[in-house]
């Protein structure tokens, strides 16, 4: 797992913390219809609030071409307020203009602000350095909590981390740690289940997984392509016939890597995909003409379950069959429930991700029982493909620059600096006094008049010095401050 800083490293009290969240949620008639992403972002925001940070949330929404108020983030304010236990969320109608700057300056510890859609500016998706600097000027620290956007090199996910001390939020941290355990340092045996309609969309994924896992289960329409590549007749089943050679190459690569590829040995077929259609289970090499393969058969599902019973780690991306339509959800449901039971028993680490996968596990009623379910979509897929994610790389580079505790102190506001610097000056002054006693005496003589001019000076011995002290006390204060200021700079 890449080295990155987390909230545990940040000193956030009194600091303006920019949090990159993914609030790209479904909205209909100005109302959010699914608050899942908002609710998952709340953990980081709440923690920062409780630690006394001034939280500035930024996000993209949709794909606007310039400023388009039909794609404003304003409808997110109410559900975000509810998600953070009723704390009122202030809203700025821009993300870098004067309204955003004024709001950022007005925040008090524990306050939360949401800025307008980042994509109202084309510079966001261009990863523009100037735009990133303007965002960075709004805060003192940067937290990326949007793993789902980490595969994009955008100004708010990559460039901004060059200008502020940066850390991963709790959601980003959980994603990276879960994926690290699943693929980078997994307990073996490792089983991966990959489904989906087309081999062509998951070539990189399959190519990487055969090098990482012990067993690769291939389901969905992709399985049909692999069956066809082996000379098996598949009737009217969905199949990329032009990918047969590629499928054979993946099979050969898996064999060389010592990875077992599990394909169905029996299948559920029907003349069409619809609820209540007449279907039957047949051996995989006896698919009737005019029929379509729509799910793994019971024997094939059992073979997957047996693999899971001895596995220690499961990575799942894509269903085994057309789970949205009954009865072609049976294999996916059986395998999902087994994985959930093994996870609850502490025998299996289960990590799943991808839109269809999350939906399939929800249909099976087990989404809460997996070790981790990612809603990251494209980022989750690219991670499984072994690709570097720009947003994660940016956090890693930031961590390499210097320890974050040190950086957080350097980025503190001037007032905070002064408070911390004052105690540090006293020990330095004592050292100087012990090293050069004559100079220390002169310094003491100069400081004394400022505090108690009359009693500290012997009038008989040094009348001239007394007059100077009485006439120009401010002039004597100034020299005393200069050496201390120089020492602070050297530090």
Catalytic residues: 37, 198, 355, 378
Instruction: Return the number of other C-beta atoms located less than 10 Å from residue 402's C-beta.
Output: 11
End-to-end Cα, the chain, rounded Å:
34
CA dihedral 186, 187, 190, 192 (to 10 degrees): -50
Pairing of strands 280-283, 266-270: antiparallel
Q: Answer whether the bond into residue 327 is a cis peptide, omega within 30°.
A: yes
Token pair of 183 as six digits: 């693929």
Only one residue has tokens 């996916």, namely 332
Instruction: Return the number of other C-beta atoms located less than 10 Å from residue 98's C-beta.
Output: 9
* E-only strand ranges, 77-139: 89-92, 112-115
Three-state DSSP state, 413: coil
C-alpha angle 111-405-490 in degrees, rounded to nearest 5:
115
Residues whose CB is less than 8 angstroms from the CB of residue 357 and which lie 6 or more positions away in sequence, other chains included:
195, 316, 317, 318, 319, 373
Token pair of 369 as six digits: 């029982």
Pairing of strands 190-194, 166-168: unpaired
Three-state DSSP state, 135: helix
């Amino acid at each position: 797992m890449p080295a990155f800083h987390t909230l545990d490293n940040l000193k956030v009290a009194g600091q303006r913390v920019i949090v990159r969240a993914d609030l790209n949620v479904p909205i209909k008639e100005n109302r959010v219809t699914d608050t899942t992403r908002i609710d998952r972002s709340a953990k980081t925001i709440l923690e920062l609030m409780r630690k006394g940070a001034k939280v500035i949330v930024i996000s993209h929404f949709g794909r606007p071409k310039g400023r388009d108020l039909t794609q404003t983030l304003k409808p997110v304010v109410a559900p975000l307020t509810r998600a953070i236990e009723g704390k009122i969320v202030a809203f700025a109608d821009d993300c870098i203009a004067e309204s955003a700057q004024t709001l950022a300056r007005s925040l008090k510890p524990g306050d939360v602000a949401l800025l307008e859609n980042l994509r109202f500016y084309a510079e966001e998706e261009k990863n523009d350095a100037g735009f990133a600097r303007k965002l960075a000027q709004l805060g003192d620290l940067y937290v990326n909590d949007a793993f789902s956007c980490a595969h994009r090199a955008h100004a708010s996910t990559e460039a901004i981390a060059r200008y502020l001390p940066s850390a991963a939020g709790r959601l980003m941290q959980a994603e990276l740690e879960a994926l690290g355990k699943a693929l980078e340092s997994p307990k073996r045996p490792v089983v991966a289940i990959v489904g989906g309609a087309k081999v062509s969309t998951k070539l990189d994924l399959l190519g990487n997984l055969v090098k990482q896992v012990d067993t690769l289960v291939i389901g969905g329409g992709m399985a049909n392509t692999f069956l066809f590549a082996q000379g098996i007749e598949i009737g009217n089943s969905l199949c990329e016939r032009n990918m047969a050679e590629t499928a054979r190459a993946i099979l050969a690569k898996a064999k060389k890597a010592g990875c077992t590829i599990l394909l169905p040995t029996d299948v559920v077929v029907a003349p069409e995909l619809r609820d209540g259609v007449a279907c039957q289970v047949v051996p995989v090499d006896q698919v009737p003409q005019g029929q379509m393969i729509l799910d793994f058969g019971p024997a094939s599902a059992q073979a997957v379950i047996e693999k899971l019973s001895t596995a220690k780690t499961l990575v799942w991306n894509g269903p085994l069959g057309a789970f949205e339509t009954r009865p072609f959800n049976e294999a996916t449901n059986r395998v999902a429930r087994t994985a959930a039971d093994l996870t609850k028993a502490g025998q299996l680490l289960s990590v799943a991700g991808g839109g269809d996968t999350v939906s399939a596990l929800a249909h099976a009623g087990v989404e809460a029982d997996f070790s981790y379910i990612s809603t990251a979509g494209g980022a989750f897929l690219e991670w499984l493909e072994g690709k570097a994610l720009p947003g994660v790389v940016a956090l890693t580079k930031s961590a390499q620059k210097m320890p974050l505790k040190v950086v957080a102190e350097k980025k503190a506001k001037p007032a905070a600096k002064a408070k911390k610097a004052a105690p540090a000056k006293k020990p330095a002054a004592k050292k100087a006094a012990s090293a050069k006693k004559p100079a220390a005496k002169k310094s003491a003589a100069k400081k004394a008049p400022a505090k108690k001019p009359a009693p500290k000076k012997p009038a008989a011995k040094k009348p001239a010095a007394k007059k100077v002290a009485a006439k120009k006390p401010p002039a004597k204060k100034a020299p005393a401050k200069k050496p201390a200021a120089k020492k602070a700079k050297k530090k």
